[in-house]
Chain A
Amino acid sequence: MTVPNLVGAGLIVIGAGIGLGKIGGSAMEGIARQPEATGKIQTAMIIIAALLEGLAFGALFLGK
């Protein structure tokens, strides 16, 4: 891997990390506010996390 590739991979991971952190944090807050909606919030969280992950992996894969 060349240096630009490595920098790009790092940027992708930073972006994906921020996104996942926001999703996880909001889900935690939501669950704390409404514990009875835990199941629904978790499902939605996993779907959004999976979509984000797909984007991040796609970028990593294209940059390889």
Chain B
Amino acid sequence: MTKILRKPNLVLTTLFILLLNSSLFAKSDEGHDGAVDTKDEVGEYILHHIKDAHDFHLFSYTDSHGERKHVGFPLPVIVWSSKGLTTFMSSKFHHDDSGHQIVEANGTRFVKLHSKIYELEEGAEAISFDETHHPTNAHKVLDFSITKSVFGILLVGLLMFIWFAGLARQYKKKQIPTGFGRVLEPLVLYVRDEIARPNIGEKRYREFTGYLLTVFFFIWILNLLGLTPLGFNVTGQLAVTAALAIFTLIIYTFKGNKGYWGHMLWMPGVPYLIRPVLAIIEVAGAFLIKPFSLLVRLFANISAGHIVVMSLIAIMVTMKSEMGAVGATSLSFVLSFFITLIEVLVAFLQAYIFTMLSALFIGMAVEEHDHH
């Protein structure tokens, strides 16, 4: 037993697989049953996958009683409603996303509509909509749930802590890492020597290597996690990429030296009349355009990659009538297989580019200017 516990990665993986097998939730067969047959349903399904969700959904099938079964595993829902903090498992919604499944908890009633949790007003028995399909008798609640993305972030945080704490411990004992550390060491050196050092400069690169390494591995592992069939799309969430971009913004704003601010607000060496114009452009560039381009690039690349892979998989549904089941399935398999290989490359490239541009921006803020 102790020998097994010494292999935390193995334990985590096993727990994960056990979780996958343990739960199965059934839903009564009313309205939209989750089947994907037409092109519209395929589009809806893909857009649903791109968004964050309150449970992991692996697949659905219809059992011998004609009942629709959804297989996946639930995640905890934590909301701040009118009655205070309320928690329950998302399996109570039975994978319903149309607002029809009502969950009673802590004296209030909740429904889930388009991956958002709504609280029904006092006395309301069922959700009702106005003509634009907005609910009229329910309101949104503050949602602190462990959603799919939050779960992914926690999982990657834990994995990174285990991996890198182990690596650091190995360096203390002897100078050469063993086991998985041998995979990590060249990557760490790569980020330090190829990204941090040339872009930030020999003098101050050590200060920022920690942040760059964290951001690099965080984005890369989450990108790779997004390629597994579990349905993670963490780095394709605007909130996640925005938070990462804001970290970079904070670092280069507060670590910027006198030369950086001088060049931003009162550019030396140009005519005085042009300096205010340049200052406006530079300020907009530093506080809006740089972080915005960082966050949109990562978000759009990863989301677009997911949409392309899922669209190619969906060929087996959309082209079935033209090509037959076998033809459509083989075409979709070949295309999606090779696009997935490209996505593995993109996963690394986007992590590299985010880290590289962060290093570049930090380097611009801390570089020592020659005195003119």
CB distance B301 to A57 under 8 Å?
yes
Instruction: Write out the residue numbers on chain A whose beta carbons fall within 8 Å of the beta carbon of B294.
Output: 54
Minimum CB–CB distance from A54 to chain B (whole Å) comes to 3
List the one stretch of B111-119, B166-174, B312-320, B352-360 in contact with chain A: B352-360
Dominant secondary structure of chain A at its interface with chain B:
helix
Chain B residue with Cβ nearest A58: B296
State the CA gap A46–B357 with chains docked (Å). Answer: 10
Chain A residue with Cβ nearest B195: A43
State the CA gap A54–B300 with chains docked (Å). Answer: 9
Instruction: Write out the residue numbers on chain A whose beta carbons fall within 8 Å of the beta carbon of B349.
Output: 46
Check A14 for interface membership: any CB of B closer than 8 A.
no
CB distance A47 to B296 under 8 Å?
no
Minimum CB–CB distance from A19 to chain B (whole Å) comes to 14
Mask, A22-59, CB within 8 Å of B = 1, is 00000000000000000000010011001101110110
CB proximity to A under 8 Å, residues B226-280: none
CB distance A54 to B293 under 8 Å?
yes
CB distance B300 to A57 under 8 Å?
yes
State the CA gap A51–B354 with chains docked (Å). Answer: 11
CB distance B296 to A57 under 8 Å?
yes
State the CA gap A58–B353 with chains docked (Å). Answer: 16
CB distance A54 to B296 under 8 Å?
yes
State the CA gap A46–B356 with chains docked (Å). Answer: 10
Minimum CB–CB distance from A60 to chain B (whole Å) comes to 7
CB distance A61 to B296 under 8 Å?
yes
Minimum CB–CB distance from B189 to chain A (whole Å) comes to 15
Check B68 for interface membership: any CB of A closer than 8 A.
no
CB distance B353 to A46 under 8 Å?
yes
Chain B residue with Cβ nearest A47: B356
State the CA gap A61–B292 with chains docked (Å). Answer: 11
Instruction: Write out the residue numbers on chain B whose beta carbons fall within 8 Å of the beta carbon of A55.
Output: 293
State the CA gap A51–B352 with chains docked (Å). Answer: 13
Instruction: Write out the residue numbers on chain A whose beta carbons fall within 8 Å of the beta carbon of B300.
Output: 57, 60-61
Chain B interface (Cβ < 8 Å from any Cβ of A): 194, 292-294, 296-297, 299-301, 349, 352-353, 356-357, 360
Chain A interface (Cβ < 8 Å from any Cβ of B): 43, 46-47, 50-51, 53-55, 57-58, 60-61
